[in-house]
Chains A and B, each alone.
Chain A
Amino acid sequence: MTEVTLSNVVKFYGKHKAVHGINLDIANGEFVVLVGPSGCGKSTTLRMIAGLEDISAGEISIGNRVVNDLPPRERNISMVFQNYALYPHMTVRENLGFSLKIASVSEKDIIIAVDAAAGILGLDQLMDRKPAELSGGQRQRVAMGRAIVRHPDVFLFDEPLSNLDAKLRSQMRVEIKKLHQKVGNTIIYVTHDQVEAMTLADRIVLMQDGHIVQVGTPLELFNEPLNTFVATFIGSPPMNLVDGVVVGTDRINLGDALTVPVPLSARGLVRDGQKIHFGFRADNLMPVGHAVQEEGEKVTLELTVSLTEPLGTETLLFTNVAGTEVQAKMLNPRPVRPGEVLTFDLMLDKCHIFDAASTNALRS
């Protein structure tokens, strides 16, 4: 039905190559999030799918139809823009019905379709207002309503929540997810916010410098990052990385006379003297007595806490492993003074080894 396929899609701006031959298959009804730092080519990719940017090379197809040279109006897509792009001279009702009016749908059918969309998004009370009279969240909802009213094959979202304040953003996040569950269309969503990517996506496409770095479910990217970029981009707080050198085949020297065993997953993949980044998340370094009870190989460390960030159910502890500042997590928190020394358990099974030269993960 409405799969979206990108094969070897390239975008040049003059001589600058913004997108380097992207390949991506998006299944019908899938919620795919393109995420990455600014300038990584995610918005350009989305705009190429929309037909707002020409494709320099490659092929894009929507529902088995190559759309490379079709104008946006013939692609049967709809798009929600970062700045909403509502038509300021039209009321909410006119905004919602605009696409149907252009398509010469009868007056009666427009009213039915618009009312249905308004019902889904709770816009009934706002129908006669102009966009200027709406709050940010309401405008966002109108923009979404305009997108759903004509039942497109694919929804495109271009950073739709970045103009909203934090509270509204998490509310709208939920609404977008509900909307997807209700209408079930294919959604391609661009954001630079990894939290949005994690919470919304069926599948995340992480991009950097015009390349796709890793594609996978949120948990795949979280648990099995392919390199240090993925490891530090996905997850909050970002993964701690400590430089180290492999000693023999089974131990890693992290400096300051601190050595830890090579985690099981990387055994046999490292060689003596190899420079590596030793990565672990805050959740895997917890003070004894304030940790999740887990089986598995542990390393016990005495560490000095330099700073705390209480978050309620947990507290982030800033400490220092072999000269590198790292973050640890404390469950059932008690007050901790800066300078206090605590005993931490580092869950070795959940640690990651990245080759320092290539930054790629070493994992069997």
Chain B
Amino acid sequence: MQMDNNLAHRNRTHRNRKHVLKVLHFTALFITMAIICIPGLWIVLNSFRPTVEIMAKPPVWNPTFTLEHYRAMFGGAGQGGVPVLSYFRNSLIVSVTSTAIAVLIGMSGGYAFARYRFKGKSSYFVGLMLFRAVPGVALSLPLFIVFARVGIIDTHFGLILAYVAMNVPFTIWLTDGFFRQIPKELHEAAEIDGCTRWQAFWKVEFPVAKSGVASAAIFAFLTSWNEFALASQLTRSVGSKTMPVGLLDFTAEFTINWGGMCALAVLMIIPALILTFLVQKHLISGLTFGGVKG
């Protein structure tokens, strides 16, 4: 009987401890998520609040809802308007083009690293990774001078070139990993089944690695879409400024239009968010390599 009591007691303490751990676990998760999400939430909420309330001290707990920042942003130059549509178009052109080029080059490179043996392969690969280690801003001055001399400063082309160079090493690294996971027997089987090497890639290896390529594309797109430092150096006019650079339009000599900035930031986040949701299915799609090993 004594033993039984003892056992029941131990069971109970163990259960309690489990419960406490679970609560702690959720608290930690909540705090982490709050740290990640609150700035975003702050931006979204403030884009709908009047400027006075944003900076009010003490804070206004019962905010008024207004679309004034959005209205002003799309309004004429005199009413605090900025060329949102131009910025949006620039961002889209630069990001989509640079992503497409970076993914094409990166995928070919990644495939080559994963499948072929060639001289200086590992040092070349390390070189690419080292290139990633150089902070982009450090290159902004030399880039600025070179681009200015060549005459591609303040153009879509210049920015695309810079972003492709920035994204290719990472894309190579990512797709290399995905292609490495695909056993080489798959393309061999396809070649025996009648494919050329090219067909074997497009009909078998590419579809299997599609999720990898999609995630590489997402990363490349978001990098270009969000990049500020280089773009602020290499663009000057409405014809080439991207949205992150456009945010600066809301800073004047003595004031910062927080509400307008938030509104533009929201517009900037939306496409990235939509894209991520669209591709997300691919990123976590259950493409397993079950056909290959049991």
A residues in contact (CB < 8 Å) with B:
50-52, 71-73, 77-79, 81-89, 95, 98-99, 102-103, 130-136, 139, 146, 150, 163
Q: B281: CB under 8 A from chain A?
A: no
Q: What band does the interface of chain B fall in when counting residues whose beta carbon is under 8 Å from A?
A: 20 to 34
Q: Evaluate whether A85 and B186 lie within 8 angstroms (CB atoms) in the complex, with A136-B294, A139-B294, A163-B294 already known.
A: yes
Q: B291: CB under 8 A from chain A?
A: yes
Measured between C-beta atoms, what is the minimum distance from B286 to chain A in Å? 8
Write out the residue numbers on chain B whose beta carbons fall within 8 Å of the beta carbon of A103: 194
Write out the residue numbers on chain B whose beta carbons fall within 8 Å of the beta carbon of A136: 294
Q: B253: CB under 8 A from chain A?
A: no
Q: Evaluate whether A102 and B291 lie within 8 angstroms (CB atoms) in the complex, with A81-B188, A83-B185, A89-B207 already known.
A: no
Asked if B192 contacts A78 (CB within 8 A), the reply is: yes
A104 to chain B: closest residue by CB: B194
Q: B151: CB under 8 A from chain A?
A: no
Determine which of A82, A88, A89, A98 lies in contact with B193 in the assembled complex, contact meaning CB atoms within 8 Å. A98
Write out the residue numbers on chain A whose beta carbons fall within 8 Å of the beta carbon of B289: 88, 132
Measured between C-beta atoms, what is the minimum distance from A144 to chain B in Å? 13
B293 to chain A: closest residue by CB: A83
Asked if B291 contacts A87 (CB within 8 A), the reply is: yes
Asked if B207 contacts A99 (CB within 8 A), the reply is: no
Write out the residue numbers on chain A whose beta carbons fall within 8 Å of the beta carbon of B204: 87
B193 to chain A: closest residue by CB: A99
Asked if A85 contacts B294 (CB within 8 A), the reply is: no
Asked if B192 contacts A50 (CB within 8 A), the reply is: yes
Write out the residue numbers on chain B whose beta carbons fall within 8 Å of the beta carbon of A133: 290
A98 to B188, CA, bound (A): 13
Sample of 8 more A-B contacts, CB < 8 Å, known A99-B193, A99-B194: A52-B192, A71-B191, A78-B192, A83-B292, A87-B291, A95-B291, A131-B292, A133-B290
Determine which of A50, A79, A130 lies in contact with B291 in the assembled complex, contact meaning CB atoms within 8 Å. A130
A73 to B294, CA, bound (A): 27
Q: Contact mask B185-201 → A, CB, 8 Å, 1/0? A: 11011111111100100
Write out the residue numbers on chain A whose beta carbons fall within 8 Å of the beta carbon of B192: 50-52, 72-73, 77-79
Q: B208: CB under 8 A from chain A?
A: yes
A71 to chain B: closest residue by CB: B191
27 contacts between A and B (CB under 8 A): A51-B192, A52-B191, A52-B192, A71-B191, A71-B196, A73-B192, A73-B193, A85-B185, A85-B189, A85-B291, A85-B292, A86-B291, A87-B190, A87-B291, A88-B291, A89-B208, A89-B287, A102-B193, A102-B194, A102-B195, A102-B203, A130-B291, A131-B290, A132-B288, A136-B294, A139-B294, A163-B294
Q: Evaluate whether A72 and B290 lie within 8 angstroms (CB atoms) in the complex, with A81-B185, A85-B183, A89-B208 already known.
A: no
Measured between C-beta atoms, what is the minimum distance from A15 to chain B in Å? 15
Asked if B193 contacts A163 (CB within 8 A), the reply is: no
Write out the residue numbers on chain B whose beta carbons fall within 8 Å of the beta carbon of A82: 185
A313 to B186, CA, bound (A): 44
Measured between C-beta atoms, what is the minimum distance from B99 to chain A in Å? 24
Q: Evaluate whether A84 and B292 lie within 8 angstroms (CB atoms) in the complex, with A72-B188, A79-B189, A89-B208 already known.
A: yes
The 8 A-B residue pairs with the shortest CB-CB distance, nearest first, are A132-B290, A131-B291, A86-B291, A88-B291, A85-B185, A99-B193, A85-B189, A102-B194
Of listed B191, B203, B207, B292, residue having the most chain A CB within 10 A = B292
A13 to B78, CA, bound (A): 74
A135 to B290, CA, bound (A): 10
Measured between C-beta atoms, what is the minimum distance from A137 to chain B in Å? 9
A136 to B186, CA, bound (A): 17
B199 to chain A: closest residue by CB: A102
Write out the residue numbers on chain A whose beta carbons fall within 8 Å of the beta carbon of B186: 85, 87
Measured between C-beta atoms, what is the minimum distance from B285 to chain A in Å? 10
A158 to chain B: closest residue by CB: B185
Write out the residue numbers on chain A whose beta carbons fall within 8 Å of the beta carbon of B196: 71, 73
**Considering the complex, which residues of chain B in the window 261-294 have a beta carbon less than 8 Å from any beta carbon of chain A?**
287-294
A72 to B190, CA, bound (A): 9
Write out the residue numbers on chain B whose beta carbons fall within 8 Å of the beta carbon of A79: 188-189, 192
Write out the residue numbers on chain B whose beta carbons fall within 8 Å of the beta carbon of A89: 207-208, 287
Write out the residue numbers on chain B whose beta carbons fall within 8 Å of the beta carbon of A71: 191, 196
Of listed B185, B199, B288, residue having the most chain A CB within 10 A = B185
